[in-house]
Amino acid sequence: MLRIAHELVEAMVAHARADHPDEACGLIAGPEGTGEPKRHIPMINAARSTTFYEFDAEEWKQVYDQMWDNDEEVVVAYHSHTHTEAYPSRSDAGIASQLGLPGAHYVLVTTKDPDIAEVRSFRIADEVVTEEPIEVTGAPEAVQSYKFAHTPDSTVYDCS
């Protein structure tokens, strides 16, 4: 399960909406060894594409150097889908596996509906995708236009 503060969810969604119609991508870092998402790091989609994302290599190195200096690790790697559901494509699963972050949560945000952003979290290892529930902490009354879904039971959690 991904347990995450509503401010971080809002930051990911805001980044995804700001970069729309291109896919957005970024990271959320946390103190090393805790698995706690704490610091939002929006990044540049080097592909500048509506259907694909790619982390910029130079920016990736700078972010990793900063995390190293701060004793942080990647807790969440996220990106957006602009016209499809928030579920990893085959290329997304491949990228996640290549990143070499087996403990990270992979969050997808869909911006195809301008009023509701669908947010889903996955674990991806060796290109195998497993969805996990999301627990939003903090002030959920502030989270008004997001839909959290989890399969296979298709339960939808609307926060309002």
Dihedral of the alpha carbons of 40, 159, 150, 54, in degrees to the nearest 10: -30
For the stretch 3-42, pLDDT in tens is 999 999 999 999 999 999 999 999 999 999 999 999 999 9
For the stretch 108-145, pLDDT in tens is 999 998 888 899 999 998 889 999 999 998 865 554 44
Please, what's the largest Cα pairwise distance for the chain?
42
pTM: 0.87
